[in-house]
Chains A and B, each alone.
Chain A
Amino acid sequence: SAVISQKPSRDICQRGTSLTIQCQVDSQVTMMFWYRQQPGQSLTLIATANQGSEATYESGFVIDKFPISRPNLTFSTLTVSNMSPEDSSIYLCSARTSGTYEQYFGPGTRLTVT
């Protein structure tokens, strides 16, 4: 398994600003992902963070709105840009190791946009 930490754990931001969320894994992992969980809802995959190359985005999510970096095998960031109240959600980072399909999740970042 992998232990994942996220910073910040929560934030309240103003409309039009941007927030960068950091995700740190305690061991090298092959894949990292970012999900969004809107209040009372399930998880929706935003993108796969690829090490050394551009992230792979799911339908409905674009790089200009959610730029992602993954400079090495244990760290990734997600930026939520030009925020609006509709971006209020929990953002979760996850990781997967080679040879398995299960993912391990960070504790999430609870974002409120006012």
Chain B
Amino acid sequence: GDSVTQMEGPVTLSEEAFLTINCTYTATGYPSLFWYVQYPGEGLQLLLKATKADDKGSNKGFEATYRKETTSFHLEKGSVQVSDSAVYFCALHPGGGGADGLTFGKGTHLIIQP
């Protein structure tokens, strides 16, 4: 079945550092890919998405590019802030018009220190 693998955390960075959180996936067909963010004590928020190969999703300074050749969707940000501290989840939908839910990675806890 489909699966998502993302780097284990916690990831600790200093403010203004460059961020990369790796995400790779296994899926048949042409999945849609997502990054969700969960701030402490809150629900999941959609951060960005990409629906086909070479699409780049972006939001709030975060970017991720759908790389079909490497089955990856790595999340990047050029300069992180303390307010970016949260848990980040990579997820996929298998596409094809199906009524499926999302398959999530295990989540990466990001800690930004001032």
A1: chain B residues at CB < 8 Å are: 46
User: Which of the candidate stretches A13-21, A67-75, A81-89, A102-110 sits at the interface with the other chain?
Assistant: A102-110
Answer yes or no: A62 CB below 8 A from chain B CBs. Answer: no
Stretch at the interface among B17-25, B62-70, B76-84, B97-105: B97-105
Contact call A41/B106, Cβ cutoff below 8 A: yes
Contact between B49 and A102, CB atoms less than 8 A apart: yes
How many residue pairs link A and B with beta carbons under 8 A? The number is 48
CB proximity of B53 to chain A, nearest CB, Å: 15
Query: A101 to B51, Cβ gap below 8 A?
Result: yes
Complex interface: chain B residues within 8 A of A41 (CB): 106-107
- Whether the pair B44, A42 counts as a contact (CB closer than 8 A) is no
CB distance from B59 to the nearest CB of A (A): 12
Decide yes or no whether B32 CB sits under 8 A from chain A: yes
- Complex contact B99–A42 (CB within 8 A): no
How big is the A interface, by class? 20 to 34
**Contact bitstring B64-96, A, C-beta under 8 A = 1, else 0:** 000000000000000000000000010001010
Q: How far is the CA of A94 from the CA of B43 in the complex (A)?
A: 10
Query: In the complex, A104 Cα to B45 Cα: how many Å?
Result: 7
Are the C-beta atoms of B99 and A92 separated by less than 8 Å? no
In the bound assembly, the distance between CA atoms of A35 and B89 in angstroms comes to 14
Q: Which residues of A approach B to under 8 Å, CB–CB?
A: 1, 31, 33, 35, 41-43, 45, 48, 56, 58, 92, 94, 101-108
